[in-house]
C-alpha cells in the first residue's frame, strides 16, 4: 500500500506528466494541422476530415510523446522538491532514494502498461482506420478541388485550370493553360470532363470533345488539334509505399516473422514501454538538483540524453530493417546502454554517499 509520501510524489509527477503531455501534443498537432490545411487548400484533402485525422494522430503520437513527457515530469517535479528542500526534509525522516524509486515505479509500471496497450493493440487498428480516412478524404477532395467560375493553379503553377460549371462529378466548360517544358504555351479546352486518381496515386483531368492550341506567345504559328479525349495531370503525389502499411499489421502477425522490416516494426512497438521503465531508472537521480542550482540546467541535460536515445533508436531501427543486425541485437543494445547509464548513476550516488559517511566516521578518530 503506497504511503502518504508515495501518493504525494505520484500526484506531483502525474499532474506534471498530464500538463507536459498536453503541451507536447498541442505543439506537434499544430504542425500537423498546418500540413493538413495546406493539403486541403491545394485540393488534396477534404476539409471535413481534418479534425478526425488530428484525433487519430493524437492517439498515435502518445506512444512517442509519453516517454518524453514522463522524463520531463520527473525532472520538473523532483527537481522542484530538491530545490525547495522538501526532499531533504523527507530524507531526514527516513524517506531515502529507494523510497523515491518506489513512488516513481508505482507510476511508471501502469504507464508502461498503458503505452504497451496502445503500441500492441490500439495503434495498429487506428492506423488502418487512418489510412481509410485518408483515402476517403482524397476521393472527396476530387470533387471540391475546383470551384466553378474561378481560376486555380495546379502542379506548382504549371497548369491554370478554369471550370465553368460543376454537375456532380462532371466538369463543364473546362479551360486549361499549360507551360510546356520547351517554353511553349498550350491551351486545352473541353466541353466536359471529370477527375480521376489512377492506381499510381496521381490525379488527372480527363477531357472529352475539345481543342488543344500550342505555340510560342507573340507568334502566330499555333498548332491546333481537335481531340475526342485528352488527359491533363494535375498533381504529382507519390503513390503510397507498401512499407507504410506495416504499421497496421496486428502484433500477432509480426511474431515469428523473418522479414527484417516486420522484425523492426515489432521491436519498435516494444520501444516506448521499455523507454518508460528505463527512464524511471535514471531520471530520478539526474533530477537531484542542489539548492542554488539553476532551474532548468538538469532538464536540458535530460532532454539531450533522451535525444541521443531517440537517435540511437532510429539508427537501430534502420540497421534492423535493412538486415545489418539480427533480431538478437535489434534495438536491445540501445536499451542496454541506457540501463548501464542508470546503473552508473546509482553506483556513483551510493559509492559517493558511502565514501562521505566513512569520511565522517573517520574524522573524529583522526582529530583525537
Whether the CB-CB separation of 165 and 191 falls below 8 Å is answered with no
| Number of other CB atoms surrounding residue 46 within 10 Å | 22
pLDDT digits (tens, 9 = 90+) for 157-198: 778 888 888 776 778 888 888 888 777 888 888 888 887 766
pLDDT digits (tens, 9 = 90+) for 141-162: 655 666 778 777 777 777 888 8
What average pLDDT does the structure give for the chain? 81
Higher-confidence residue of 43 and 345: namely 345
3-state SS, residue 84: coil
Is residue 92 very low, low, confident or very high in pLDDT (cuts 50, 70, 90)? confident
194-232 as b/e, with b when 16 or more CB fall inside 10 Å? bbebeeeeebbbbbbebebebbeeeeeeeeeeeeeebeb
The CA distances from residue 111 to 14, 17, 255, in Å, are 10, 11, 24
DSSP strand pairing (170-179 vs 159-167): antiparallel
Amino acid at each position: 500500500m503506497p504511503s502518504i509520501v508515495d501518493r504525494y510524489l505520484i500526484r506531483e509527477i502525474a499532474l506534471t506528466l498530464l500538463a507536459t503531455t498536453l503541451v507536447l501534443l498541442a505543439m506537434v498537432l499544430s504542425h500537423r494541422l498546418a500540413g493538413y490545411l495546406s493539403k486541403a487548400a491545394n485540393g488534396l484533402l477534404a476539409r471535413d476530415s481534418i479534425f478526425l485525422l488530428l484525433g487519430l494522430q493524437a492517439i498515435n503520437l502518445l506512444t512517442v510523446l509519453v516517454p518524453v513527457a514522463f522524463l520531463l515530469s520527473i525532472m520538473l517535479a523532483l527537481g522542484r522538491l530538491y530545490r525547495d528542500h522538501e526532499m531533504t526534509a523527507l530524507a531526514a525522516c527516513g524517506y531515502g532514494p529507494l523510497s523515491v524509486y518506489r513512488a516513481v515505479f508505482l507510476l511508471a509500471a501502469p504507464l508502461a502498461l498503458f503505452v504497451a496497450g496502445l503500441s500492441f493493440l490500439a495503434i495498429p487498428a487506428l492506423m488502418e482506420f487512418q489510412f481509410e480516412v485518408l483515402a476517403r478524404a482524397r476521393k472527396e477532395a476530387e470533387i471540391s478541388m475546383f470551384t466553378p467560375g474561378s481560376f486555380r493553379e495546379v502542379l506548382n503553377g504549371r497548369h491554370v485550370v478554369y471550370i465553368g460549371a460543376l454537375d456532380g462529378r462532371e466538369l463543364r466548360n473546362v479551360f486549361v493553360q499549360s507551360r510546356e517544358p520547351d517554353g511553349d504555351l498550350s491551351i486545352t479546352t473541353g466541353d466536359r470532363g471529370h477527375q480521376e486518381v489512377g492506381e499510381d496515386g496521381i490525379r488527372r483531368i480527363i477531357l472529352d470533345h475539345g481543342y488543344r492550341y500550342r505555340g510560342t506567345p507573340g507568334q502566330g504559328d499555333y498548332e491546333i488539334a481537335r481531340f475526342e479525349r485528352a488527359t491533363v495531370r494535375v498533381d504529382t503525389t507519390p503513390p503510397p509505399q507498401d512499407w507504410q502499411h506495416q504499421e497496421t499489421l496486428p502484433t500477432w502477425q509480426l511474431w515469428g516473422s523473418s522479414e527484417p522490416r516486420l522484425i523492426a516494426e515489432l521491436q519498435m512497438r516494444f520501444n516506448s514501454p521499455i523507454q518508460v521503465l528505463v527512464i524511471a531508472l535514471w531520471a530520478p537521480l539526474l533530477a537531484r538538483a542542489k539548492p542554488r542550482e539553476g532551474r532548468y540546467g538538469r532538464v536540458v541535460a535530460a532532454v539531450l540524453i533522451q535525444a541521443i536515445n531517440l537517435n540511437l533508436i532510429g539508427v537501430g531501427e534502420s540497421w534492423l530493417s535493412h538486415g545489418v543486425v539480427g533480431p538478437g541485437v535489434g534495438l536491445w543494445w540501445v536499451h542496454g546502454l541506457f540501463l548501464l547509464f542508470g546503473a552508473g548513476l546509482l553506483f556513483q550516488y551510493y559509492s559517493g554517499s558511502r565514501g562521505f559517511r566513512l569520511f565522517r566516521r573517520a574524522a573524529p578518530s583522526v582529530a583525537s
